[in-house]
Amino acid sequence: MKPVIIAIDGEASTGKSTQAKKIAKELDYNYRDSGAYYRAITLYCLQNNINSNDDISQSILKQISIEQLYKDKKLIISLNGNDVSEKIRGYKVSVNVSNYAKNPLIRDFVKDQLRSSAISSSLVLDGRDIGTVVFPNATFKFFLLADPKIRAERRLKQINDKSVKLESIEKEIKSRDHTDSTRKIAPLKKADDAFEIDVTHLTIEEVFNKILSKINSK
């Protein structure tokens, strides 16, 4: 039986990962957080003083091993054997990840990682180009968007750092939206056949029910 692929794309901090995890759990599918790959690579580069403008080579990427696994029902992001689940969500990674994600070698690296995960297993993935580039023939495609201020408030709760101001996060989110949607390679955009959901005034459960209803209706 051909694996089912569910792609949940959208803007930064719209709850893509939350929904993808809930859908995967509900349907008993595997889950992959594509953004975690880019964040882990960004963290590695920042830790090793590899500038996003440098020529990132295959030899550098070969030094990077990223795993996504569950421990006590919690998703763990492992970078070269170290748990970096919290570190990749930090503010410094957040403001730099788009610059590294523009690199074509990095995008190909992540794309290959994700596609290999779906060879024999049904999969739920979230990201920005899952339904347009990574899995253009995905079984189901969703695109989430929301007001930037609402997204900034959500991100501030995630960061849990009192030194970071809401205004700074909102500015960073708007900047990332622009960077992601205007980059030449795999820009952020809604797939023509994706189901769009504005989550600005919706609860997590309301968004979940909309996605699940669409899946069950097919």
> Which residues are 78's β-sheet partners?
67, 83
CATH of the domain at 163: 3.40.50.300
Range of the domain at 83: 5-209
- Give the containing element (helix H, strand E) for 71: strand 66-71
Number of folded domains in the chain?
1
Q: Is residue 27, in this structure, part of any structural domain at all? A: yes
pTM above 0.75, yes or no: yes
* Mean pLDDT value across residues 166-183: 89
110 pLDDT tier (thresholds 50, 70, 90): very high
217 within domain boundaries = no
The predicted structure's pLDDT at residue 41? 97
Give the CA diameter of the chain: 51
Residue type, 190: K
**pLDDT tens-digit profile of 36-47?**
999 999 999 999
- The whole-number average pLDDT for the span 71-99 is 91
190 located within any domain: yes
Whether 215 is covered by a domain: the verdict is no
**pLDDT value at 162 more than 80:** no
